[in-house]
Amino acid sequence: MGHPKGMLGKHHSEETKQKMSLARRKDNNSNWKGGITQIIRGIRWSSEYIHWKKAVLKRDNYTCQDCGSTEKIDVHHIQSILEYPGKIFTLSNGLSLCEDCHNRHTFWARLKKRGLICKKHV
């Protein structure tokens, strides 16, 4: 078994750092999702998205549709941007939620997608 302090006080060489970096790129990284980050970022910076977001917020009177809060309101896609690309800018696919409720919605959606919970428990 190794020393209990591991790498404490030691440094990797530049060559080792480069090899470690390359070994963790794209498909070798558990967080890699096929390059969708740039696609999502492009959508969220588009004028259509900004118009859609403003329309949803106005429709919902800048109020969280779960708890009624009017603080830290954001817009949530009811049906995922990636799974339903044709509904990205559909007004009925948007929901105004406060930060806490939005986090709860996305957390439950991730659990459902992973099969860790079924629809009847949500």
More confident residue, 46 or 63: 63
What is the C-alpha to C-alpha distance for residues 31 and 57, in angstroms, rounded to an integer?
31
And the tokens for 119? 């629809």
Return d(Cα 21, Cα 92) in angstroms, integer: 43
CA atoms of 121 and 14, how far apart (whole Å): 50
pLDDT, tens only, 77-104: 998 887 888 999 999 999 999 998 998 8
pLDDT value for 18: 85
Region 63-80: mean pLDDT is 93
Query: Tokens in use for 54?
Result: 């403003």
